[in-house]
Amino acid sequence: MSTTVIPDAPVRTSKTVESPAKRRQRLSSGTLIAIVGLLLAVAAFTSTGTSRIALSDAFDEIKLPTIEVPAVPVVALAAAVLLFVGGFFVAKRVPKPYSTWLGVLAGVALLVGFIVWVAADAPLPFTLTNQLNGTLQYATPIMLGAMCGVLSERAGVVNVAIEGQMLTAAFTASVVAGLTKNLWAALFAAVLAGVLSAVLLGIFALKYLMDHVVLGVVINLLATGFTGFMFHQLVKDSPDLNAVAVMQPVAIPGLSQLPFVGPILFVQRPLSYIAIVSVVVVWFVLYKTKWGLRVRSVGEHPHAADTVGINVVGTKFSSVLLGGVFAGLGGAFFTIGNSGAFQTTGVTAGNGFIALAAVIMGRWHPVLAALMALFFGFSRQLAQTVGPLQTPMPSEFLQALPYLITIIAVAGLIGRVRGPAADGVHYVKGH
């Protein structure tokens, strides 16, 4: 196969001309922001009373005051900010750093406006600590799964199999925890299972040149079938294997005593700390080491990488394997990390696919992908927090939000999403 990379449109040096593609994208994102602003404006006039936002929940040692704000003016202000930013984007070109800041401003306004609207006149206050704490918990497996996705996709191996890898790891962790009663041994076994599934992915994608997406679908099915079979054959009727302990939250001494920040950041389950460290590690190896440079070059242009003497297939394989480590950790979250024994009702619940969405939304960059994972975790937790507040917003909508936003992003309505150039392309030396 010969790689024919379509060159991008010639870069214009003149600052006065805007390319049609950029213009279309600027107009569409501006319009979209303005539409959201309009919706929020409508919401502002339907809300009444005051919103109460609690900064600490009933179990915290240090009580912080519950903030009370009048709903209508705050939501209206947020809507005005969104309309302003949207209108600004539509009307004018904004140079690079300012456009990012405007985007962030719009995001913050949307968040504040939405939370205040949701909490307006609710019987219970909106517990911010609870929300943020739950965000990190929901985001943990997504973040770890996304690290797996980033590593394999940056090396040019499309990974639709994160879900299956995590499922295998979740099952293994549960069984080993039941056998050994040692959670760290179980975690290690989960990592091993993640790596083994990555071996399957690597061998069939790189040696037997199977289509990556087909392979991903097949690995997901294999994982479902295999874990289901093992579970029904060996685990289901064994009380010993079903008694699985869960990793308990660990408070970091000192820091966890801080008001507000403490309970959110420093009293977490071990896997959440591991997830945050993983993001730093993946960023470091991809951007600060020789190996990482090789991985990225292999994903962008394998022929060029081969020409300078890089072992293309070997590099791809090692990156996929390292990805398996994180998929294993992410999978462990669903059994020993959070909820106990394995069930065949789909413990991973589509988190592998959300992780894939986070990879794409995060533009194949570990830190951005982790931020997207946090955002997805936020919206999932929001669906939980909003539940008892009796708001008009159905919780299913909040749960579906990450997927909707991913579609919008992939369609190029907000920002331009562009993956590694040789993602999913087979590489055979000498072709």
Partner 1 sequence: MSEAKRVEEAPPKDHKPETKPKASYSKWLNSAAVTFWSLVLAFIVGSIVMIILDPEVGEKWGYFFARPGDALGASWEKISLTYISLLQGSFGSWVAFTETTAQATPLILAGLGIALAFRAGLFNIGGQGQAIMGAIWGAFIGFTVKGLPLFVHLPLVILVGVAMGTIWGGIVGFLKAKTGAHEVIVTIMMNYLAVYLLQFLLQRPAFMAPGRNDPIGPVVEWSATMPRLAGSRLHLGFLLALLAVVLVWWILERTTLGLRIQAVGLNPHAAAVAGINVSRVTIVTMAISGALAGMAGVNAVTAPELITSFPTQLSVGIVGAIGFDAITVALLGRSRPVGVLLAGLLFGALKAGARTMQVRANTPSDLVDLIQALIVLFVAAPAFVMWVLPFLRQRKTSRTPKPKAVAA
The answer to whether 156 and 419 are in contact (CB under 8 A) is: no
Residue 242 sits in the site that holds partner 1 (CB under 8 A): no
By CB under 8 A, is residue 280 in contact with partner 1? no
Residue 156, classified by CB atoms within 10 Å of its CB into exposed (0-12), middle (13-18) or buried (19+), is buried
* Separation CA 142–CA 157 (nearest Å): 19
Q: Where are the beta strands (DSSP E) in 187-263?
A: 250-251
| Cβ atoms of 138 and 320 closer than 8 Å | no
Closer by beta carbon to partner 1, 262 or else 402: 402
CB of 98 or CB of 229, closer to partner 1? 229
Q: Is 268 helix (H, G, I), strand (E, B) or coil?
A: strand
Mode of pairing for the β-strands spanning 267-268 and 250-251: antiparallel
Q: How far is the CB of 1 from partner 1 (least distance, A)?
A: 6
Which among 102, 117, 18 has a CA at the least distance from the CA of 414? 102
Query: Does residue number 360 form part of the binding site for partner 1 (CB under 8 A)?
Result: yes
Stretch that binds partner 1, among 48-56, 177-185, 303-311, 396-404 (CB under 8 A): 396-404
Instruction: Assess 411 for contact with partner 1 (CB under 8 A).
Output: yes
- Distance in angstroms (rounded) separating the CA atoms of residues 218 and 10: 40
With CB under 8 A as the rule, give the number of residues binding partner 1.
61
400 contacts partner 1 (rule: CB under 8 A): yes
Q: Does 9 bind partner 1 (CB under 8 A)?
A: no
Q: Where are the alpha helices (DSSP H) in 18-154?
A: 20-46, 71-91, 96-119, 128-154
Stretch that binds partner 1, among 58-66, 75-83, 130-138, 353-361 (CB under 8 A): 353-361
User: How distant is the alpha carbon of residue 248 from its chain centre?
Assistant: 23
- Of the candidate spans 133-141, 169-177, 227-235, 369-377, the one that interacts with partner 1 by CB under 8 A turns out to be 227-235
Q: Which of residues 174-213 bind partner 1 (CB under 8 A)?
A: 204, 207-211, 213
Q: Which of 22, 63, 232, 288 binds partner 1 (CB under 8 A)?
A: 232
Please measure the distance between the N-terminal and C-terminal CA atoms of the chain and give it in whole angstroms: 6
Query: To the nearest whole angstrom, how small is the minimum distance from the Cβ of residue 269 to partner 1?
Result: 25
Is 217 among the residues that bind partner 1 (CB under 8 A)? yes
Judged by CB under 8 A, which stretch of 4-12, 29-37, 83-91, 184-192 contacts partner 1?
Answer: 4-12
d(CA 135, CA 120): 21
Query: For residues 129 and 162, what is the distance between their CA atoms, to the nearest angstrom?
Result: 30
What binding mask, one character per residue, do residues 412-431 give for partner 1 by CB under 8 A, x or -? xx----xxxxxxxx--x--x
Q: Yes or no: say if 65 and 55 are a contact pair by the CB < 8 Å rule.
A: yes
Binding residues for partner 1, rule: CB under 8 A, are: 1, 3-6, 153, 158, 160, 204, 207-211, 213-215, 217-218, 220-222, 224-226, 228-234, 344, 350, 353, 356-357, 360, 394, 396-397, 399-400, 403-404, 406-407, 410-413, 418-425, 428, 431
